Structure 1
Amino acid sequence: MELSIYLAGEIHSSWRDEIKEKAAALKLPVTFYGPMEDHDRSDNIGEEILGKQHDAVAKDAAASSFNNLRTELLLKKSDLVIALFGEKYKQWNTAMDASTAVALNKPLILIRPHEHHHALKELSRKAHATVETPDQALKALKYIFE
């Protein structure tokens, strides 16, 4: 069995690389997907495809359309979603991706620090598992294959 996994969460730190490297070291049969990690490309994709927009709101709307298309297709293709709520960055995209996973009936592992317990209590109850670290999520992933 091989699983495809969507890694939802902020794109500013190397948490995805850590999970990918550790999964490879464990020889887990997984393929990873995720959001566009090139922030500038993500912000500018609407204009890259449609041309210059007349203001910042139109630019964001155009980019959001293509980013949402990409995200939804990759989420639907995935067998499992791991969503990380970190401590440093605003997490609106993570909340949207995790909620989409729930709406699509995709199994969800939620990673959130203990300090975010209260803010994420409802989403945590919808997830199949809630952990506090990427290492714990990786242990849950490894358990699937045992």
Structure 2
Amino acid sequence: MNWNVYLSGEIHTAWRQQIVEACQQAQLPVEFTSAVTDHQASDAAGDVLGEQDQAYWRDHQSAKVNALRTRTLIQNCDVAVIRFGDKYKQWNAAFDAGYCAALGKPYITLHSADLTHPLKEVDAAAMAWAQSPEQVVEVLIYTTRR
């Protein structure tokens, strides 16, 4: 079986690439999908539908266009990895975790120990909490090879 792994969350570090490369090196039967990680492209996703006078409506329009991608990819994944970084609040990642939970999609949270309290409900619904990309890879190795 090939596993479809959706990578969600923080876009300012190389955690996605670390997981992808380590899984390739381990020759795991996984394919990866992700939200758009180019911040400007994501913010402008709805601009093709017309210019908006207010920032709220531009964000609203772009959020809906982005949701076409993220909802479809989450619905089609076998497992999601949801990264919460230290520098920015990842509200979209929290939404993705909630969406996974609502769909019954298993997910792994990836964040440092200092975020354990604010993410307690998100972690409670997760199948695993990892503190490093290497731990995520180890979970994927176990899951896909057993």
Scaled to the shorter chain, the TM-score interval is over 0.9
1:38 maps to amino acid: D
Report the secondary structure of 2:31's partner residue.
Answer: strand
| 1:2 maps onto 2:33 in alignment | no
Whole-Å Cα distance in 2 between the matches of residues 5 and 145 of structure 1? Answer: 11
Whole-Å Cα distance in 2 between the matches of residues 122 and 141 of structure 1? Answer: 23
2:6 maps to amino acid: Y
C-alpha contact 2:130 2:136 (8 A) present in aligned 1? yes
Whole-Å Cα distance in 2 between the matches of residues 122 and 44 of structure 1? Answer: 31
| 1:18 maps onto 2:18 in alignment | yes
Report the secondary structure of 1:118's partner residue.
Answer: coil
Q: CA deviation at 1:109?
A: 0.8
Report the secondary structure of 1:83's partner residue.
Answer: strand
2:121 maps to amino acid: E
Give the unaligned 5+ runs of structure 1. none
Whole-Å Cα distance in 1 between the matches of residues 82 and 142 of structure 2? Answer: 18
**CA displacement, residues 57-116 of structure 1 (integer Å, 9 cap, x when unaligned):** 111111011011210001001010111112112121111111111111111111121111
Percent identity between matched residues is 39
After TM superposition, the runs of 4+ consecutive aligned structure 1 residues lying more than 4 A away are none
Report the secondary structure of 1:4's partner residue.
Answer: strand
**CA displacement, residues 7-38 of structure 1 (integer Å, 9 cap, x when unaligned):** 01111221111111111111111111111111
Whole-Å Cα distance in 1 between the matches of residues 56 and 124 of structure 2? Answer: 34
| 1:55 maps onto 2:54 in alignment | yes
TM-score by length of structure 2 reads: 0.95
Show the 5 A alignment for 1:1-146.
Answer: 1-47=1-47, 49-146=48-145
